[in-house]
Chains A and B, each alone.
Chain A
Amino acid sequence: MIKILLVEDDPLLARMYSKIFTMHGFEYVEAVDGQSGIDAAKKYKPDIILLDIMMPQMNGIEALEVLKKDPTFKKTPIVMMTNVEDEATEKLAMELGAAGYLVKSRNDPDETIAYVNKILKSDPVS
């Protein structure tokens, strides 16, 4: 089972995604903000991390930065999962090493799953 870590501060969405991913056979782990996300990543070592951007205290970009600085997660695909549909942010995320940029509101559950799978396929899981 592919382990997926979702860092999302909105509980509604978190719950929704947990159901979606569980339904599609992922091992699902979640965190509510940037720092706990990093801790969770270190603890659970997921195969793919989905990072929300708009989060309190440490936002997704910052978390991305920290994670990517850590050699542990060098190979781990990190997908930004956000509603911030901003060019600059997307570019920044990609520059910082994100594997993908998904806009939540534009992708229904099936599309989300498909995207995640696509990322996973292009990035072989260790």
Chain B
Amino acid sequence: MNQSLLTNLQSRWQSYLSFGQDMRQYDSQTRRRIQFLNTLFAAGFVASLLAGLLIFTTTVTLSTWALWVGGTISISLLWLGYRLTRQVRLFSILFLIMMYLINSYLLVWYPFASGIYWLYLFLPVALILFSKRAYLLNVVFMLGVIILLRVLTGEASLYAWREILSFCASYVVVSLFLLFYRSISDADEKNSYQTELELRKLTVQLTNEVAMKSSSQDQLRSLTEDLSKQNKQLTGSRLALVNLLEDARELETELADSKKHIEEKVIQRTEQLNVERARQAATLQSLPVGMILTDANLNIIDVNNTAYIILGIKDFSLSKLARPRVKRILKTQLNLLAALQETTTHQNQVSLPLIDFLDKTLQVTLAPVHAKEGSESIGVVIVLEDVTARRQLERSKDEFLMIASHELRTPLTAIRGNADLLEKVYGTKLKDQDFGELLGDITHSSIRLLDIVNDYLELSSLEQGKIGFQMKVVDLHAITRATLLEFTGLAKEKGLKLSLVSAKKPIYITSDPERLQQVISNLISNALHYTKQGSIKLSLTTERGKAVCRVADTGIGMSKASQRMLFGKFQQATDNPLTRDPTRSTGLGLYITQLLVKGLGGQIALESSRLRHGTVFLCSFPLATSRRRSSAPQSKRKA
């Protein structure tokens, strides 16, 4: 317990020594001064106390003693209070006020002394609060006053020298304190000045630094601005890039879409094309004729199944050699190269004469193939038709015709000829009328029969194109006249007038003279047939580049119904086939005539006809372009 109290006191003493001041801010000299001052003051305080004690012991005046103590304490407090907080300062001032009050009380008894004390103690102390210099002045003043008073009054009780000494001692202490205080405050001031300088320096530095900092900050700011600008630019570019990328991506998607769309369309179209192609191929395959598509050098492009079959190639779907075989056949066995060349060079269709191949007869036609109208030719299409059956049929027909022709006509000719002879030889000798009639009937029947057979056979020949026309330049006028002459006898027999009206100059047409005569003959014969009385007039004219021959009769005419079916086969003069034709014609006459006229390159028509008023037939032929009577190149024309 004693130990800790000692330590406590020690620490308190140390803290008192440096009381109220941060010793670090002072240099060592000042620090020592402060400590000395504090020690001195402590000593002074103690001395004051001792002096007080002394006073007390010697002159026992409570008031005086109180005044000393009070005074010392207040000085101390003031000194302390000056360094301390305002509260302590306030407290010390309050204490001073208290002492003043006490002193004021004492003034009553000791007015003079209290007054003096009050003056030299409290007032200067109060002055310390305000001004150190004022206090010093006061100290000097009070000393002066005290000494003066001593001198003046000479009162030894109050102003004993020991009182003065102790007073002086305290004054000295205070002065010393003040001195030291001043030095401290000087030091403080110096310190603070130094500190201020340093502060100022630091402030300047700081300002500089701040300036620098601000300038570098400015730089930084400008850099930052630049950076931010660049950043903005970059951001802008990035945005643009992003936009471009987005656009690109969109385009890609679009492209993919349209590609898909196109692909779909292509697939659709391909399917359509495939379907069409399949259809075409099927159509081609199902044709009853063989079709071979080749190029200009007989290289096979396409062959349909019928062609293979016709050419006798059975394994065409399996064999790869099928096509070369076809080519070989076409080239060597059918000899189509020449025809092919003609097709390609002249770009026209070529029909070959019938070719016998294996056991068949083939009709071969070649035609050029163009992709489009007037464009390059793709190649040649060869059509193979198996006409074996047809040809055989025709041959049979031919044979039949020939045989029929001969077999029918031979006996008919015999009948007719003999009947004729009978009439001629025995007609005059035998007077029997019946016999004559019988004979006449036989003759006429045979003639009629022969005519029918002849007509039918001729018709067959014409229809089958067996009749050829030998065309040359002929004079229609001459032929007409010659034909007319042959009928004069018959006309006279029937009592009909036969005449020819013309310009009396030659009319040249290209025709077959024999057939032409046949035509005119038929027309005249018809006219005579159907005319009971009156006349038959032939007229020849040239109209619009054509030679026109008209045969007009005054015969029985035709009804409208008959007119409609005039040139039909087996046409009779009556409408109803069941009604017998009184004129007993074969019904083929006009039909044959029409075929002949057509074959001769002309036209035949009924110009007019009225029942019981007569009929006019008209046939026309194109005028020959060459006026010369020399034979024009003979051209065989099939009817």
Contacts and interface: CB of A to CB of B under 8 A. Distances in A.
A87 B406 CA distance: 15
A54 B414 CA distance: 16
B397 to A, nearest CB: 13
Interface stretch (B261-269, B278-286, B416-424, B582-590): B416-424
B403 to A, nearest CB: 9
Interface stretch (A31-39, A62-70, A103-111): A103-111
A13 B417 contact: yes
Contacts of B458: 85
B454 interface: yes
Given A23-B421, A86-B466, A104 B402 contact: no
B541 interface: no
A102 B183 CA distance: 187
A12 B420 contact: no
A12 B414 contact: yes
B359 to A, nearest CB: 26
Contact of A83 (B413, B421, B461, B468): B413
Contacts of B405: 83-85
Given A20-B421, A23-B421, A105-B409, A84 B402 contact: yes
A23 B414 contact: no
Given A12-B411, A23-B424, A23-B425, A108 B466 contact: no
Contacts of A84: 402, 405-406
B467 to A, nearest CB: 6
A109 B417 contact: yes
Given A16-B414, A87-B467, A87-B468, A109 B409 contact: no
A41 B461 CA distance: 34
Which one of A13, A82, A85 has the greatest number of beta carbons of chain B within 10 Å? A85
Contacts of B418: 12, 16, 19
A123 interface: no
Contact of A106 (B454, B466, B468): B454
A28 interface: no
Nearest to A107: B413
Contacts of A54: 406
Which one of A10, A23, A87 has the greatest number of beta carbons of chain B within 10 Å? A87
A60 B466 CA distance: 21
Nearest to A83: B409
Given A54-B406, A105-B409, A105-B450, A85 B457 contact: yes
A104 B466 contact: no
A17 interface: yes
A16 B413 CA distance: 9
Contacts of A83: 405-406, 409-410, 413
Nearest to B465: A87
B176 interface: no
A74 B214 CA distance: 150
Contact of B413 (A23, A86, A105, A110): A105
A106 B518 CA distance: 12
A16 B410 contact: no
Given A83-B406, A106-B454, A19 B413 contact: no
A14 B372 CA distance: 68
Contacts of B467: 87
Nearest to A11: B414
A85 to B, nearest CB: 6
B412 interface: yes
Which one of B405, B417, B461 has the greatest number of beta carbons of chain A within 10 Å? B417
Which one of A17, A20, A84, A109 has the greatest number of beta carbons of chain B within 10 Å? A109
A16 B461 contact: no
B263 to A, nearest CB: 68
A84 B376 CA distance: 51
Interface string B106-135: 000000000000000000000000000000
A105 B466 contact: no
Which one of B402, B413, B425, B466 has the greatest number of beta carbons of chain A within 10 Å? B413
Contacts of B412: 105
Nearest to A91: B468
Contacts of B421: 16, 19-20, 23, 109
B410 A13 contact: yes
Contacts of B102: none
A16 B409 contact: no
Contact of B417 (A20, A82, A87, A106): A20
A74 B461 CA distance: 33
B442 interface: no
Given A83-B405, A84-B402, A105-B453, A17 B410 contact: no
Contacts of B409: 83, 104-105
Nearest to A110: B420
A108 B468 contact: no
A83 B461 CA distance: 13
Nearest to A104: B413
A44 B411 CA distance: 28
Contacts of B454: 105-106
Contacts of B447: 108
Interface in A55-104: 82-87, 104
A64 B411 CA distance: 24
A20 B420 CA distance: 10
A32 to B, nearest CB: 14
Interface in B425-451: 425, 447, 450
A39 to B, nearest CB: 24
Contacts of A85: 405, 457-458, 461
A23 B420 CA distance: 12
B518 to A, nearest CB: 11
Which one of A16, A54, A110 has the greatest number of beta carbons of chain B within 10 Å? A16
A2 to B, nearest CB: 19
A104 B417 CA distance: 10
Contacts of A105: 409-410, 412-413, 416, 450, 453-454
A95 to B, nearest CB: 14
A47 B425 CA distance: 26
Given A13-B414, A16-B413, A108-B416, 19 more contacts: A12-B414, A12-B418, A13-B413, A13-B417, A16-B417, A16-B418, A19-B421, A20-B421, A23-B425, A83-B405, A83-B413, A84-B406, A85-B461, A86-B461, A104-B410, A105-B409, A105-B453, A105-B454, A109-B420
Closest 8 interchain pairs by CB?
A105-B409, A12-B414, A83-B409, A16-B417, A104-B413, A105-B413, A87-B468, A83-B406
25 contacts: A10-B414, A12-B410, A12-B414, A13-B410, A13-B413, A16-B421, A23-B421, A23-B424, A54-B406, A82-B406, A83-B406, A84-B402, A84-B406, A85-B405, A85-B457, A85-B458, A86-B402, A86-B466, A87-B467, A105-B450, A106-B454, A108-B417, A108-B420, A109-B421, A110-B420
